[in-house]
Amino acid sequence: MGCFQSRHRGKKKIAKLPVMFNTKGTPYLTEEQRRLVSDSWQEIKDNVEKVGVITFMNLFETHPEVQNSFMPFRNLKKIDMEHSAVLRSHSLRVMGTVDKFMSRIDSQEKSRGVIIELGQRHDGYNAKSDYFDMVGPQFIYAIKPQFAERWNGELEEAWLKLFQILSFLMRKGLKRAKNAK
């Protein structure tokens, strides 16, 4: 697994997008963006475990504070992280959340409650709301090589937007959990 990490070294920052909101104040994907993420997800799914692990390995490399907030990973060396069953399991759970979201992509409202509750549970997992925003850009770095010359700005924008929506809803849940204390 070490080989694909080193390929992603260097700057991993992606410019923030202006977020589009619907009348209820939730960011949303346009019809064209829904088509772009749905079509590409079919391909990404073939490598979903690898993509999830690269996403989180890159996230921990660029933001060590996130790694340290994951109790089982505190002070773990990179090589041990790569082989961690917990890392694989969480990476797959995140990808599973994306998959569920994709299966209801045409009725984004229906997924809202489920994702907000997931964010609420992350209060108990030591996650901070800023961390959710960091996942999307690392996911982009993980999937880009698979698309090579087929990658373009529209596809990048659509995927960033999808992760912005997940992050927006999870932040909302986390805030709700904190307010309820």
Interface positions with ligand HEM (CB under 6 A)? 66, 69-70, 86, 89-90, 93-94, 97, 118, 121-122, 125-127, 131-132, 135, 166
State how far the Cα of 175 lies from the Cα of 127, in Å rounded to an integer: 11
Nearer of residues 30 and 89 to ligand HEM, judged by Cβ: 89
State how far the Cα of 66 lies from the Cα of 58, in Å rounded to an integer: 11
Nearest alpha-carbon partner for 52 in 78, 76, 88: 88
CA of 107: how far to CAs of 29, 37, 101, 129, in Å?
A: 11, 14, 9, 25
- Report, in Å, the least distance between residue 149 CB and ligand HEM: 28
Kindly state the tokens that stand for 64.
């060590």
Nearer of residues 25 and 124 to ligand HEM, judged by Cβ: 124
- Report, in Å, the least distance between residue 88 CB and ligand HEM: 9
Rg of the chain over Cα atoms, rounded to whole angstroms, equals 16
- Report, in Å, the least distance between residue 21 CB and ligand HEM: 19
- Report, in Å, the least distance between residue 127 CB and ligand HEM: 4
Nearest alpha-carbon partner for 166 in 13, 14, 18, 29: 29
- Report, in Å, the least distance between residue 131 CB and ligand HEM: 4
The per-type count for the chain, helices as H runs and strands as E runs, is 9, 0
Nearer of residues 97 and 146 to ligand HEM, judged by Cβ: 97
Nearer of residues 3 and 85 to ligand HEM, judged by Cβ: 85
State how far the Cα of 3 lies from the Cα of 85, in Å rounded to an integer: 19
Nearer of residues 155 and 165 to ligand HEM, judged by Cβ: 165
